[in-house]
C-alpha cells in the first residue's frame, strides 16, 4: 500500500512524502535526482517488495514550496536527517540517484546520531574530481542531454516540441529548483570529497559505463574517497542505469542490502 502525506518540519517547510507500507524489512529512503520522482519510480516499486520505502519530493520540485532560506544541499541533508530523527527511524539505508546522491552523501557526513546504516549512490554528483569535470547540464539542449545521459540516446530522446506545454513548464520549474541548489558552485561541494573519509557505513556506488555527465572515472574517485565503499560499473547504461538496465541494477542493490548486516570489505 502506498500513501502520500505532508509533514511540517519548519513552519514554512511542508515536506511531501510518498511512503510504502511494509510490515517487514528495514526502512529505505530514496532520493530522486534533478528529473524528479518519476526517475526513481521503478526503483521504489522494486524496493517496496521487501522494505518500507520513503520517497520525498525535494522542495521546489513538482510545484512544492521551497522557503527562501532552503538554498543549499546541506539544508536538504539536514532536513531529511531531522525527519528520520523525528520519526524515530534508525538502520535506514539511503538509495539515491544523481543529484539525490549528493544529498545522500551530505547526509552521511552529518549523521552524528548514526541513523543511516548504508548507502547506494547511483551516478551521483556532488564532489570535485580533478580532470573529471561534471558536464554543464544546464548548457545542453534536449539532444545533448540525451546523448550525455543515456547509453541508448535515440530510445530516450524526447523532442521538446512534442511535450505538452504544461509538462514542459513543470520540467522548467524543476530545473530552476535544481539550479538554485546546484548552480554555484556547479553540482558539487568543494569540501565533500575529503569529508567522505569519515563515512564508515557500507556504500555501494553504481555507475553506468556510458555516463557522459559524470564518467565512471569520476565514480571511481568518488568511491575511493569513502572509508568503506565499492564501485560497480553497469554495461550498456548511462546516467540512470536503474532505468536502462533495471535487472542488473536491482540485483546489485539487493545484494548490497543483504550484505549490510554482514562483514563488508571495500574493493576496487
Predicted pLDDT at 2: 86
Cα distances from 138 to residues 41, 121, 153, 174, 214, in angstroms, run 24, 22, 18, 12, 14
Predicted pLDDT at 12: 94
234 lies in some domain: yes
267 lies in some domain: no
Q: Which domain holds residue 102?
A: 2-259
**How far apart are the C-alpha atoms of 216 and 222, rounded to whole Å?**
10
CA atoms within 13 A on the CB side of 179: 10
Question: Which three three-digit cell numbers place residue 56?
Answer: 520525498
Predicted pLDDT at 265: 40
Predicted pLDDT at 22: 67
Contact 240, 155 (CB under 8 A): no
For residue 185, is the peptide bond before it cis, meaning its omega torsion is within 30 degrees of 0? yes
How many domains, in total, are found in the chain? 1
Cα distances from 1 to residues 93, 100, 212, 251, 258, in angstroms, run 20, 24, 37, 23, 23
264 lies in some domain: no
71 lies in some domain: yes
94 lies in some domain: yes
161 lies in some domain: yes
pLDDT tens across the length of the chain (268 residues): 789 999 999 899 999 999 997 666 789 999 999 999 999 999 999 999 999 999 999 999 999 999 999 999 999 999 999 999 999 999 999 999 999 999 999 999 999 999 999 999 999 999 999 999 999 999 999 999 999 999 999 999 999 999 999 999 999 999 999 999 999 999 999 999 999 999 999 999 999 999 999 999 999 999 999 999 999 999 999 999 999 999 999 999 999 999 997 643 443 3
265 lies in some domain: no
Let me know how long the chain is: 268
266 lies in some domain: no
Rg (C-alpha) for the chain, rounded Å, is: 17
What is the dihedral angle through the alpha carbons of 48, 14, 58, 20, rounded to the nearest 10 degrees?
A: 0
Burial 114-144 (b: 16+ CB within 10 A, else e): ebbbbbbbbbbbbbbbeebebbebeeeeeee
pTM given for the model: 0.95
Predicted pLDDT at 25: 76
Predicted pLDDT at 266: 40
CATH of the domain at 18: 3.40.50.1820
Amino acid at each position: 500500500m502506498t500513501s502520500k502525506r505532508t509533514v511540517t518540519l519548519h513552519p514554512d517547510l511542508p515536506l511531501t512524502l510518498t511512503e510504502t507500507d511494509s510490515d517487514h524489512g528495514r526502512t529505505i529512503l530514496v532520493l530522486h535526482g534533478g528529473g524528479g520522482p518519476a526517475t526513481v519510480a521503478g526503483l521504489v516499486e522494486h524496493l517496496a517488495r521487501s522494505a518500507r520505502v520513503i520517497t520525498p519530493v525535494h522542495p521546489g520540485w513538482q510545484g512544492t514550496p521551497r522557503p527562501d532560506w532552503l538554498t543549499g544541499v546541506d539544508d536538504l541533508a539536514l532536513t531529511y536527517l531531522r525527519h528520520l530523527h523525528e520519526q524515530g527511524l534508525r538502520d535506514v539505508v539511503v538509495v539515491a540517484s544523481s543529484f539525490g546522491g549528493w544529498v545522500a552523501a551530505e547526509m552521511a557526513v552529518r549523521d552524528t546520531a548514526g541513523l543511516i546504516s548504508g548507502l547506494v549512490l547511483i551516478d551521483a554528483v556532488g564532489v570535485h574530481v580533478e580532470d573529471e569535470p561534471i558536464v554543464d547540464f544546464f548548457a545542453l539542449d534536449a539532444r545533448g542531454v540525451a546523448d550525455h545521459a543515456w547509453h541508448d540516446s535515440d530510445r530516450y530522446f524526447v523532442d521538446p516540441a512534442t511535450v505538452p506545454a504544461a509538462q514542459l513548464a513543470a520540467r522548467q520549474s524543476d530545473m530552476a529548483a535544481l539550479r538554485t541548489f546546484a548552480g554555484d558552485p556547479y553540482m558539487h561541494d568543494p569540501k565533500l570529497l575529503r569529508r567522505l573519509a569519515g563515512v564508515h557505513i557500507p556504500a555501494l556506488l553504481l555507475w553506468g559505463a556510458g555516463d557522459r555527465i559524470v564518467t565512471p572515472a569520476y565514480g571511481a574517485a568518488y568511491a575511493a574517497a569513502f572509508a568503506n565503499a565499492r564501485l560497480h560499473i553497469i554495461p550498456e547504461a548511462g546516467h540512470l542505469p536503474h532505468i536502462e538496465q533495471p535487472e542488473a541494477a536491482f540485483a546489485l542493490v539487493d545484494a548490497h542490502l543483504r550484505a549490510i548486516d554482514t562483514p563488508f570489505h571495500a574493493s576496487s
